[in-house]
Copies of this chain bind each other. A is one copy, B any other.
Amino acid sequence: MVFQVRPGRASDTDGKTALHVLLWQRALDPERGKWSLPGGRLGADEDLTSSVRRQLAEKVDLRQLAHLEQLAVFSDPARVPGPRTIASSFLGLVPSPATPELPPDTRWHPVSDLPEMAFDHGPMVEHARNRLVAKLSYTNIGFALAPNEFALSTLRDIYSAALGHHVDATNLQRVLERRQVITRTGTTARSGRSGGRPAALYRFTESRYRVTDEFAALRPPG
């Protein structure tokens, strides 16, 4: 599953950003016309991670892939028709401003409004989304969804879209600064046309996945 936070079509979400997943539409039976996760067969000389990178290269520019991590295995003998196939699912993340070229059969879909999915791919996306939400709470995985430099309000929008609930920029700042997950660059952004104080810019301290705090935070409001 490759995820990205990107602006929805205006009709969808009032122009707000939302978490999207990369899918391609099957041209052949079985399940022709339904939407599938990118993937393919494991080669004899590669490990799973290399294989995933190879498969994804056909769908998305790999330089954009900031994080890739194995999630789960689906091994039900009847999970797909035909010869027995075991699927190992991966979580891939693309930073927000990037807009990789896509082949014609491939599109970003908002996770809140998925099309009819092939095989067991629907539950797979569900599972991956849950893992992403959890990991945003106790790791620095946000680095793989955010631009290199960003204002806190931008980061708030990204976290908010990925988590699926409102996020307070103030608290996000304090949580991530305390854990030293983000660092001020010292520079500031220019304020927009409509005025407002210029925002301080931040970057993620590290660009490698790291568990920063086993004690979860960023839980839904209430």
Contact = CB atoms under 8 A, between A and B. Distances in A.
Interface residues of A, number: 22
Interface stretch (A8-16, A69-77, A92-100, A149-157): A69-77
Contact of A73 (B70, B77, B214): B70
Contacts of A75: 42, 47-49, 88
Contact of A216 (B48, B77, B214): B214
A127 to B, nearest CB: 12
A47 B70 contact: no
A44 interface: yes
Given A70-B72, A72-B70, A214 B137 contact: yes
Interface of A: 42, 44-49, 70, 72-73, 75-77, 84, 86, 88, 134, 137, 214-216, 219
